């Protein structure tokens, strides 16, 4: 499983969370503590917002720990909202188009999750992407397909409906039906972040399985949401409950809502994740 962090708040260097802390995202690429895959070396990516409405991105296929440019980029890039992701591939090729985060217009997306039997479900899942958006699909991952389906569910609606929560819930409900209907229940895990340059949304959901871990911490600077804590101060991090949404808006406290409040039924799963390590 992949590891990621998302930050929203005061403008800071990306290195504050990507490269500097004792358990930074780069450290997690070498030794993740709360994942089925301790090594996340199948590529990495950065996404950030600056002076332009669309996000900037830097992605590569080599492991994050081996890219000499990453430390310098993270020191000199400053942003009020940024994503960083290290990948552990689950069956799709290790290529730059398959590295997170993904972008479409002003939207940025990254994912830590899994769709069981993706080879068989790929066609019906890609059918959720509107024809007008399908040319934007440059990779082969389930993550990018889910993102474009969410975009198609309302994020880029010319009629003005830009409700990221409603669009994501609609897509998750459709995906849950698909994994249930295809010759029995397949696991579906979705722990993801979505942003438009202003607000940050993070989701923790699963069907027929246990959701991947997610935490957040709020300070005077802002809020960081992460697959696992980036330092050893675990008491300062709040675990996001299963089947929940995290919303971080400018100058507002973090909000955590159950997805049932938005019409998505709770699906209890059996944990397949390792016990938390404390080393």
Instruction: Show which residues are catalytic.
Output: 2
Paired tokens of 249:
């808006």
DSSP output for the chain: --EEEEEEEEEEETHHHHTSSTT-HHHHHH--SSSS-S---S-EEEEE--SSSSPEEEEESS-GGG-HHHHHHHHH-EEEEEEEEE---SSS---GGGSSPEEETTEEEEEEEEETTHHHHHHHHHTTS-TTTGGG--S--HHHHHHHHHIIIIIT-TTS---HHHHHHHHHHHHHHHHHHTTS---EEEEEEEE-SS-EEEEEEEESSPPPP-EEEE-SSEEEEESS-SSS-GGG-EEPPSSEEEEE-TTS--EEEEGGGGT---------SPPPP--
Q: Is residue 151 within 8 Å of residue 163, measured between CB atoms? A: no
């Amino acid at each position: 499983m992949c590891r990621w962090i998302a930050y929203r708040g005061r403008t800071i260097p990306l290195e504050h969370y990507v490269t500097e802390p004792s358990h930074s995202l780069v450290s997690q690429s070498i030794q993740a503590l709360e994942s089925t895959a301790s090594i996340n070396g199948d590529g990495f990516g950065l996404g950030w917002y600056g002076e332009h409405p669309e996000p900037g991105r830097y992605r590569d296929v080599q492991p994050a720990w081996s890219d000499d440019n990453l430390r310098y980029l993270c020191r000199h890039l400053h942003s009020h909202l940024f994503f960083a992701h290290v990948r552990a591939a689950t069956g799709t090729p290790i290529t730059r188009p398959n590295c997170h985060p993904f972008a479409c217009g002003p939207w940025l997306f990254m994912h830590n999750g899994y769709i069981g039997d993706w080879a068989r479900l790929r066609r019906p899942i890609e059918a959720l992407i509107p024809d007008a958006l399908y040319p934007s699909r440059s990779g082969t991952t389930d993550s990018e397909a889910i993102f474009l389906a969410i975009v198609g569910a309302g994020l880029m609606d010319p009629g003005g409906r830009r409700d990221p929560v409603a669009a994501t819930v609609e897509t998750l409900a459709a995906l849950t039906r698909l994994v249930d209907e295809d010759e029995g229940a397949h696991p579906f895990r979705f722990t993801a972040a979505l942003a438009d340059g202003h607000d940050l949304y993070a989701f923790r959901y699963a069907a027929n399985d246990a959701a991947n871990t997610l935490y957040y911490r709020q300070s005077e600077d802002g809020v960081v949401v992460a697959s696992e804590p980036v330092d050893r101060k675990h008491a300062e991090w709040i675990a996001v409950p299963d089947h929940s949404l995290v919303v971080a808006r400018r100058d507002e406290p973090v909000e955590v809502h159950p997805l049932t409040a938005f019409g998505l039924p709770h699906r209890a799963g059996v944990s397949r994740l390792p016990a938390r390590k404390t080393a």
